[in-house]
Chains A and B, each alone.
Chain A
Amino acid sequence: MSGDTPSIIAFEDVSKWFGTFQVLRDVDLSIGEGECVVICGPSGSGKSTLIRCINRLETHDRGTVRVHGVPLGPGERLPRELRGKIGMVFQSFNLFPHMTVLRNLALAPMRNLGMDKEKAEETALSYLERVHIGDQAEKYPDQLSGGQQQRVAIARALCMQPDILLFDEPTSSLDPEMIREVLDVIFELTDSGITMVCVTHEMGFARKVSDRVVFMDHGEIVESAAPDTFFDAPREERTRAFLNQILHYEASA
């Protein structure tokens, strides 16, 4: 799938253990520049761990992870030149509760890129506009709805102008009526050229937005295919079983 563009993220034979439990089993995966990949699978299948190995919030134990061509071995943290270049959006938003929205966004550009306050806040505002909450800049995170908070988190990640954006179940802790506004914002990013890797259970979103869907189970990649193929003609029995489970109510509803 990614053969036509150079790969920006590559897992080569990557394994990881939590104690004696193996979370990642010989994972091989290459993601092309600008690609949007959705990773799905049952809970505990290693999806989150996989993407956290990309920005090194987790380190792996065997194999190599290549980011921007930089090979990262077991236990290696993110090298300085890549810090801040890989944005991440978390399930629980993780906004800084003691800062206004604007300051949440401006902090990293000021401290990492050395941007002056005025410039950083100007950039911050433009990204807030982009996620449709320019009017909330002076509020504190706890004054916003979950959906708004997650959009702030996305804008905050964008402020560092990352090449890669990781989403770790971005809608899983949202009330149902707010899922849409967040997914819309993510969808709008697909033509930005940013490489996106998204762990999600939103299959409708996966079908509409992604270039490729990767299915994981028990720490290994079971199937990786374009969304149409993945949903309409899955090759593997385990994929079918998973899709049956997860799509059951959606189909019958």
Chain B
Amino acid sequence: MTSMIGQRKSRFRLNRLDGILMVGLVAAAGWMWYRSAIGVAYRWDWPQALSTVFATGDAGETPFFLTGIYATLRLSLWGAVLASILGVLIGVGRYAGGRTLRMFCGTYIQILRNIPPLVFIFIFYFFISSQLMPLLGLDALFSRPAEEASGWQRFLFGPPALWENLVSGVLCISFISAAYIAEVVRAGLAAIPRGQWEAGESLGIPVLDRYRFVIFPQALARIAPPLTGQYISLVKDSSIVSLISVQELTFVGSEIANSSGLLFEVWLLVAFVYFLLCLSLSILLRQVERRMTRHFHQFA
């Protein structure tokens, strides 16, 4: 095992091509800097931007920008949880279901993957969320008085006034992401050698336990890299629900940018926060992946 990791570590050495590329890059950057210094008359004001972004409300409320970050975190977390559940169900249905179930799951995947997320979100929001939710009486669930929410609920789901907002966002994000996760899951299941199923079957391990103890752990180790990519996409894609007024990071950033006029600074800050979130997520998931694949040399 150690030898394999040793081999995989590539030595960092620059060759002549790297040199040429770097010179080219530096030249290009210098040229653009020179051109933009003439062409764009933008006055940077970072101190103002930072104080605007982190300004507390009049009554000492959490800065608007931070509430946006929290909302994005909540959206991503619950979106990922729901997307994983749906994705596994649909992926298993697609892999092991009967003809009808396979077709149903396949249709879901094809529809969600073949329309732009933005269009799906508008359709979902205007037709399903704003029509169906009141029809089913689900909106009553979220319009309880704010005092009923406990501290834990506030921590996990944010301010009660925005719960319905959060639910819409989470549903949108996870419905889209589930389609991709389902395909990854299906591919992961299909990659498990038939002998593993047969060994489980011949030992008389009940079929659900076969999935749980034999197949899923191995499939998960194989699909960990594409799954990591999917979760990172999910965090980034959560920005599009700003268009249905979910008050997450992008929504908040756009509000602050427009009201303060500090467009570049605020958007760069927003980008920086997304970058940090996604980078930490990918580092975290890589650690998890390492732990899981310790005994999968033959797959590496």
Residues of A with Cβ closer than 8 Å to B? Answer: 55, 57, 83-88, 90, 92, 94-99, 107-108, 111-112, 140, 142, 153, 156-157, 160, 166
CA distance in complex: A107, B204 (Å): 10
Starting from the known contacts A107-B214, A112-B206, A153-B199, 20 additional A-B residue pairs (CB-CB under 8 Å) come to A55-B201, A55-B202, A57-B202, A86-B202, A90-B195, A90-B198, A90-B199, A94-B193, A96-B213, A97-B295, A98-B295, A108-B204, A111-B206, A111-B209, A111-B213, A142-B295, A142-B298, A157-B203, A160-B204, A166-B202
Q: Is the CB of B199 within 8 A of A84?
A: no
B134 in the interface (beta carbon within 8 A):
no
Q: Which residues of A contact B209 (CB under 8 A)?
A: 111
Q: Which residues of A contact B205 (CB under 8 A)?
A: 84, 107-108, 111-112
Q: Is the CB of A98 within 8 A of B296?
A: yes
CA distance in complex: A90, B197 (Å): 12
Q: Which residues of A contact B198 (CB under 8 A)?
A: 57, 88, 90, 94
Q: Using CB atoms, name the residue of chain A closest to B297.
A: A142
Interface class of chain A by DSSP: loop
- Ranked nearest first, the 4 interchain pairs of A and B with the lowest CB-CB distance are A84-B204, A108-B203, A83-B204, A94-B195
B221 in the interface (beta carbon within 8 A):
yes
Q: Is the CB of B195 within 8 A of A92?
A: yes
Q: Which residues of B contact A95 (CB under 8 A)?
A: 199
Q: A90-B198, A142-B295 are in contact. Are A97 and B218 (CB under 8 A)?
A: yes
Could you write out 5 A-B pairs with CB less than 8 Å apart? A57-B201, A57-B202, A96-B218, A98-B296, A108-B203
B196 in the interface (beta carbon within 8 A):
yes
Q: Is the CB of B199 within 8 A of A96?
A: yes
CA distance in complex: A57, B195 (Å): 10
Q: Using CB atoms, name the residue of chain B closest to A87.
A: B202
Interface class of chain B by DSSP: helix
B225 in the interface (beta carbon within 8 A):
no
Number of contacting residues on B, CB 8 A? 21
CA distance in complex: A57, B298 (Å): 25
What is the 8 Å Cβ interface bit string for chain B, positions 184-199, against chain A (1 contact, 0 not)?
A: 0000000001011011
Q: Using CB atoms, name the residue of chain B closest to A142.
A: B297
Q: Which residues of A contact B217 (CB under 8 A)?
A: 98
Q: Which of B195, B204, B205, B297 has the most CB of A within 10 A?
A: B204
- Residue of B204, B206, B218 near A98 (CB, 8 A) is B218
CA distance in complex: A24, B205 (Å): 28
CA distance in complex: A55, B204 (Å): 10
Q: Is the CB of B199 within 8 A of A94?
A: yes
CB distance from A143 to the nearest CB of B (A): 9
CB distance from A81 to the nearest CB of B (A): 10
Q: Which residues of A contact B204 (CB under 8 A)?
A: 83-85, 108, 112, 160
